[in-house]
Structure 1
Amino acid sequence: MSFPEMNRRSALKAIAGGLAFPFVARAGVAPPSETLNHASFGGSGMALADIRSLTASPHVRLVAVADVDLDRTAEVKRLFPEVRVYQDYRELLDSEADLDSVNVSTPDHMHAPITREAIRRGLHVYTQKPLTQTLYEARQLTKAASDRGIVSQMGIQIHSHPVHKAVVATVHDGAIGKVREVHSWSGKQWGDRAPRPDRTDPVPEGLDWDGWLGVAEERPFISGWYHPGNWRKRLDFGTGTFGDMGCHILDPVFSALELTAPTEVRSEGGAPNEHSWGLDSVVRYTFPASPRTVDGFTLTWYDGDRRPPEEVAALIGDRRLSDQGSIYIGEEGVLYSPYIDAPVLLPAEKFMDYARPGPEGDDHYLQFVEACRGNGETSTPFSYAGPLTEMVLLGCLATRFPETSLAWDAEALKVTNLDEANRFVRREPREGYRVEGL
């Protein structure tokens, strides 16, 4: 399926404006005075939260929503009575020629195809985390957004929160010196050890099961196993706890330490079974030195019931480890960063007189809206979000090969010492759901 590279609204602007050629180069860019015509892919859950946050701006008009489960669109229709509702994302994109921007807030496996088709049409895109489900998709979306010149933002709202900014500013201020290692964790348990139930249930009325499967292989509907919430646990649809929370919790680590791609990754925790992501992950990365880290810097991720070892936890004294967070171990001190809570510098007596940075936060959604209108830039464009997502997804991939150190060539998107691992770098989409460039 091929689509024009300029939407109708952009073409009309170019013709009517005569000399307004900047808007030809960046199709869909709206003048600051204009209201954005916006569509959402997803109509409930996180998608509805995204819709509410984006339309908090008076410069956003929600005109269309696509959701494969029409029974879950009642609330969005109540809130926006004029909204046009579609069940197939492709039909929405083909029918709504006057769009400026979209949010992609579907299960992980459909982020890439929908986002790529939106970019092809020159639409600005707000895509939920993780940006994609595979490494190859993340690389391709990063390139496509750059080539097309659209405004992009990944839905990691914590990036714009003042506590995130405080962590980054404190590290950049040199408070703890160069960092030797970081330990990060999440207590969530988006995995499953149980086998897939051997049954087929009736597809609920209003649900397009084929459309929900999208790029994934056909399989029977099993009530409660996939839709609406447990897809995060399943290999073909979600990315487990690591993919769900890694893009949030490792975001300040990635930006504060100015990390590039890891050179090696090793899983020492729970492995997936045939259908579901594992539980209790422990994944260790090795990175090349950055301006903020020493040679041999390591980052270790833990989830479920796993936590940093006692000698690391002891660095925060008698404090109880938060359910989610990070510990940065530097040459001159320790920074304890509970998730969405004020960072703590240790030892306390050393930092009693330290003037802590107090940056102000931003509205992550309205930042996107204003960037689409030509005012400022986004803080997590795909040029940033793509490499962050690649790092996280490499960790997810590593859990499939426990107790094995995988050597990673980021430029080639390839594991160089275990060819079997490379079949998980890219997926083969199901016939009918293939998208050019993925």
Structure 2
Amino acid sequence: MKKDKEIKNASNRRDFLKTSAIAAAAFMIVPRHVLGGPGFLAPSDRLLVAGVGVGGKGESDIANFAKSGKADIAFLCDVDDRRSAPSRKAFPKAKYYKDWREMMDKEHKNFDAVSVSTPDHNHAIIALGAMQLGKHVYVQKPLTHDLYEARVLTNAAAKYKVVTQMGNQGASNDGPRQMREWVEAGLIGDVHTIYAWTDRPVWPQGIPWPSKAESIPKELDWDLWLGTAPQKDYVNKLVPFNWRGWWDYGTGALGDMGCHLIEAPFSVLGLKYATEVEASVGSVYVDEFKRGYFPESCPPSSHVTLKFPKTERNASDVELHWMDGGIQPQRPEELEADETFGDGGNGTLFIGTKGKMMCETYSANPKLLPLSRNKDIHVPEKYARVKGGADGHYAQWVEAAIAGYGKQNVSSPFEIAGPLTEALLMANLAIRSFDIQVKNGNNTSYPGRYKKMLWDNKNMKITNFDEANQFVKRTYRNGWDDLKV
């Protein structure tokens, strides 16, 4: 097919990425005084952004970059003409592509940065392709679909020296900074236990894959939408939202809300990589006594426990509990019966040796417990706030990218976002391994179901349950490169 001929094979593409990165670095920008005039912003003072996935969340992402006043949306790329229509109308001068590979091949000299807002399963390959061209990248949460991918992107950010930011707006809120100031002031002592919970999923999970194939909408390039994922027939109600509940594409409730709720423990305490994990999963019953086994779908609810070693900021090991599907921890005794726990459906609770504190989604509205404590606490501001808070998350990345690598800080660089994403995906590994243990519960080769799994971080593997390691790195569909930095 003509389209297939336009796409280079894997080895040629890797060679292209290397050479084009050099070419991009040599590209000259006309200085301000040649083009100028009062108030003129030279090309070097603006960021030319290419958006990949520009419907839904991607639509709001590129609109926020443009709103910063220092970014121009130069290119739009989306596999679905229906979803991309509002962005194409909003940015009529931006050239439109369906295939991000074609866009990068043809236009790499004409943009500075790439925003990735596709479904989770294609985040990593697009982001890495951009980074290898020397482009700054903004990637929606969760950073990647697989543990291995998260480690690759974390390493790539340092190697290619580009400005990175995960779309985790709560990282730019005041909350994480205020809670870190409270912890460092000793208000709750050393933190030893954390609970994070959500009312997600709000899409179908714990169900079998639909048995009936449907006609592909003419506006959708289904093959490009699948990308790295296995070949499957198109089914209704998967695009544009419900893919989140299927392991081939999404990362479930953890992928949707985990970054917003666990970011605070990472930024406040300096957590990095977990050492062990265990999970229990809500059952789906297909008849009166039998548990449904639907390995393609995320479960309806789960409770995962991760353990992290002490850090320079916190002198205690930390046990972090994740709960989804409406499961919540016991209300703290310091919280009155009618006082809201977190924001009601979601929240994060820190338990220390001297007290407790909690916050809402996006690390918003942190509070010491009991709530009466907040009236008399006056801890000096130690960490600079991000202008605009969560709304400033976009402008922060734009300005840092214009300044260049290492010149300005961002709230969620891959140095932080990578380990955070790995924690979420380690929890998902435990959830998927739980299903395997349930399936094999009567097999004598699996003594003691529902294992606590031990993680070898250096080698990225579970050391005491080898079947779990299939979830560290998936195999991409033929024709799509594996990640190589």
TM-score of the aligned structures, taking structure 1 as reference length: 0.91
Per the TM alignment, residue 292 of structure 1 is displaced from its structure 2 partner at its CA by 4.1
User: Is 2:479 aligned against 1:432?
Assistant: yes
Percent of aligned pairs sharing the same letter: 36
Amino acid across the alignment from 2:122: M
Superposition RMSD in Å: 2.1
Which of 64, 68, 71 is the matching residue for 1:60? Answer: 71
Q: Which of residues 11, 17, 42 in structure 2 aligns to 1:4?
A: 17
Instruction: Tell me how far apart the structure 2 counterparts of residues 57 and 77 of structure 1 sit (CA, whole Å).
Output: 19
Report if the CA contact (8 A) 1:179-1:292 is conserved.
Answer: no
The alignment partner of 2:111 has SS state of: coil
Give the conservation status (yes or no) of the 8 Å contact 1:284–1:300: yes
> How much has 1:382 moved relative to structure 2?
0.8
Q: Which AA in structure 1 matches 2:200?
A: K
SS at match of 2:281: coil
SS of residue paired to 1:10:
helix
SS in 1 for 2:464: coil
- CA shift in 2, pair 1:351/1:56, >3 Å: closer
Go from structure 1 to structure 2 and tell me whether the alpha carbon gap of 1:349 and 1:40 turns closer, same or farther (over 3 Å shift): closer
1:344 aligns with 2:363: no
- Candidates 306, 313, 318, aligned match of 1:297: 318
Which residue number corresponds to residue 27 of structure 1? none
Shift of 1:138: 0.5
- Choose from 414, 419, 433 the match for 2:461: 414
1:405 and 2:428 correspond: no
What is aligned with 1:126? 138
Aligned counterpart, 2:378: 355
Further displaced range: 158-167 or 391-400 = 158-167
Looking at structure 2, the residues matched to 210 and 278 of structure 1 have their Cα atoms a distance apart, in angstroms, of: 26
The 2-side partners of 1:380 and 1:198 are apart by 40
For residue 281 of structure 2, what is the aligned residue in structure 1?
269
**Separation in 1 of the partners of 2:163 and 2:386?**
20
Aligned residue runs from structure 1 range 202-281, under 5 A: 202-224=215-237, 226-270=238-282, 273-281=294-302
Match in the other structure for 1:24: none
What is the rounded CA distance, in whole Å, between the counterparts of 2:425 and 2:42 in structure 1?
Answer: 36
Aligned counterparts of 1:31 and 1:400: Cα–Cα separation in 2: 51
Separation of aligned partners in 2, 1:348 and 1:80: 47
Alignment correspondent of 2:340: 320
SS at match of 1:38: strand
Residue in structure 2 matched with residue 25 of structure 1 by the alignment:
none
Give the equivalent residue in structure 2 for 1:197. Answer: 210
Q: Is the 8 A contact 2:279 2:305 kept in 1?
A: yes
The 1-side partners of 2:213 and 2:154 are apart by: 38
Aligned to 1:26: none
How many Å apart are 1:361 and its aligned residue? Answer: 3.6
**Partner Cα distance (1:392, 1:43) in 2:** 25
Q: Which has the larger radius of gyration?
A: 2
Q: Which runs of 5+ in 2 are unaligned?
A: 1-12, 32-40, 284-292, 435-449
State the match for 1:99 in structure 2.
111
How many correspondences in the alignment? 422
Q: 2:121 aligns with which of 109, 125, 146?
A: 109
Q: Aligned equivalents of 1:48 and 1:424: distance in 2?
A: 31
Q: Show the counterpart of 1:46.
A: 57
Query: For residue 453 of structure 2, what is the amino acid of its counterpart?
Result: L
C-alpha offsets along residues 60-110 of structure 1, whole Å, 9 cap, x if unaligned?
A: 111111101122222111111111111111011011122101100100000
Higher mean C-alpha deviation, range 127-136 or range 367-376:
367-376
Distance 1:191 1:429, change over 3 A: same
Q: CA deviation at 1:367?
A: 0.8
**Change in 2 beyond 3 A, CA 1:436/1:320:** closer
Cα deviation, residue 113, structure 1 = 0.4
* Distance (whole Å) between structure 2 residues aligned to residue 207 and residue 241 of structure 1: 26
Any idea what the Cα deviations from partners look like across 1:313-356, whole Å, max 9, x if unmatched?
43423223221111111111110212243222123455542215
Give the drift of 1:13.
2.9
Work out whether residues 177 and 333 of structure 1, in 8 Å CA contact, stay in contact via their aligned partners in 2: yes
Q: Answer yes or no: is 1:367 the counterpart of 2:423.
A: no
Partners of 1:53 and 1:172 in 2: CA distance: 33
Bigger share in helix:
2
Change (3 A) 1:336 1:85: same
1:301 counterpart letter in structure 2: W
* Residue 262 of structure 1, CA deviation: 1.1
CA-CA distance at 1:295 after TM superposition = 3.9
Q: Which amino acid aligns with 1:421?
A: A
Q: Distance in 1 between matches of 2:141 and 2:101?
A: 21
Q: What secondary structure, in the 3-state scheme, does the structure 2 residue paired with 1:184 have?
A: strand
Q: What CA deviation, in whole Å up to 9, does each residue of 1:212-261 have, x standing for no partner?
A: 0000110010011x211101111010000011111111001111111121
TM-score normalized by structure 2? 0.83
